[in-house]
Structure 1
Amino acid sequence: MYEKNFITAGMVCEQGRAQYYATLQKAKQGELVRVKRGVYAEEIALADVMVDVESLIPGGILCMFSAWEHYELTTQVPQQYDIAIKRGRKVVVPQYPNFKLHNLSDKALSIGVTTEIISGYRVKIFDIEKCVCDAVKFRNKIGIDVCTEIVKNYLKRSDRNIAKLMKYAKILRVAKTLGTYLEMGL
């Protein structure tokens, strides 16, 4: 019935009160796992490479290590799902799977947001150029070696868009630093 999607209480309530109580009963019997208040999933959905980010953190955007790994810009394996949210927003994250929230300004959240299908889920993610700019911006937190790896792998790609990359870099105020990396990589 639900395939491998996450089920929210709101979705079930639309189908009627009986369906809502049936979902609660399935959770009680172990057929569904309560991920957090009002969100349930089958165990197979939790074992997948991706989760339904929109159900767990509405409005969240996949970023940092999770996005870099998706775009194959790094060999680092993310230990959690990195999700960007609006600065100051309070979000309840489930105990499992692990999420790391990154609080960004409205300006940073509005640049380069795209939607992709990852493992059957519709996920908001920053585009590849925004991800490269984030690597440069947070190079001291993630490590210079990881930042260098990301920039080098981006430059090897045939679908790279240097003009778009520099446009984002100027808006995010990392153009000078990115320029240094590009000089070394070109």
Structure 2
Amino acid sequence: MPGSVTQRQIALAVLAERGIARLAELRRAGVTAATMSRMERDREVIRLARGLYQLPDAELDANHSLAEAAKRSPKAVICLVSALAFHGLTDQLPRQVWLSIGNRDWAPKPDRMPIRIVRFTQTLLSEGVEIHTIEGVPVKIFGVAKTIADCFRYRNKIGLSVAIEGLQEALRKRSATPGQIANQAVRGGVGTVIRPYLEALTVNG
């Protein structure tokens, strides 16, 4: 059917350009859900999760799960251990993607990909956000200083040792200055918590 062929070509073009596409994006481009189902059946596309597609021969980035999470929850920001790993500040390989969302935002349901949700106030959610392109997908990730401050803020969730390791690595690699980290810690309400670690590491460094 000519219409179906045209829709398939559109779908392939969208996926080639964006890396990962949501069904809503494909629909806006003129591709129906039925066409995507047929393409999945014919193995022309891979369904990563409900309403999320990728080409089967797409080159997977080491941070593929972050791109997939960003597509599923565009408002969310990659945070905590996932942000530490992205910035190369921990040896840990997170088994789940840590996502921060607003207090009233809809939380995405885990679908094959494990997600850990942390709720932030709107102010803390909008500060220190960087946008990195992974597999053609713009992904919101907290910057280094903000990530370190958040790790101390949520040390009971991720473990104090992980937060300290991230701080040590950030200072060693000069990914952020002590002043930038201290500033973000104060804004996040953990200035007094992080200060002794920051002072000890900068004096010994």
Aligned-pair Cα RMSD in Å: 2.3
Q: Which residue of 1 aligns with 2:36?
A: 23
Asked if 2 retains the 8 angstrom alpha-carbon contact of 1:112 and 1:127, the reply is: yes
Report the 3-state secondary structure (helix = DSSP H, G, I; strand = E; otherwise coil) of the residue aligned with 2:90. Answer: coil
**How many Å separate the matches in 2 of 1:98 and 1:106?**
24
Q: Which residue of 2 aligns with 1:32?
A: 45
**TM-score after normalising by structure 2:** 0.79
* Equivalent residues in 2 for 1:118-157, closer than 5 Å: 118-157=134-173
- 1:10 and 2:24 aligned: yes
Q: Give the count of matched residue pairs.
A: 185
Structure number with larger C-alpha Rg: 2
120-129 or 2-11, which deviates more = 2-11
Q: Which residue of 1 aligns with 2:130?
A: 114
**How many Å separate the matches in 1 of 2:52 and 2:129?**
25
The sequence identity of aligned pairs, in percent, is 24
Q: Residues 26 and 160 of structure 1: is their aligned pair in 2 closer, same or farther, counting only changes over 3 Å? A: same
Q: Residues 59 and 30 of structure 1: is their aligned pair in 2 closer, same or farther, counting only changes over 3 Å? A: same
Asked if 1 retains the 8 angstrom alpha-carbon contact of 2:70 and 2:76, the reply is: yes
Q: 1:41: Cα distance to partner?
A: 2.4
60-69 or 30-39, which deviates more = 30-39
Q: Which residue of 2 aligns with 1:181?
A: 197
Q: Residues 52 and 46 of structure 1: is their aligned pair in 2 closer, same or farther, counting only changes over 3 Å? A: farther
* Equivalent residues in 2 for 1:84-99, closer than 5 Å: 84-99=100-115
Asked if 1 retains the 8 angstrom alpha-carbon contact of 2:168 and 2:201, the reply is: yes
Q: 1:163 aligns with which of 179, 182, 189?
A: 179
Q: Residues 129 and 22 of structure 1: is their aligned pair in 2 closer, same or farther, counting only changes over 3 Å? A: same
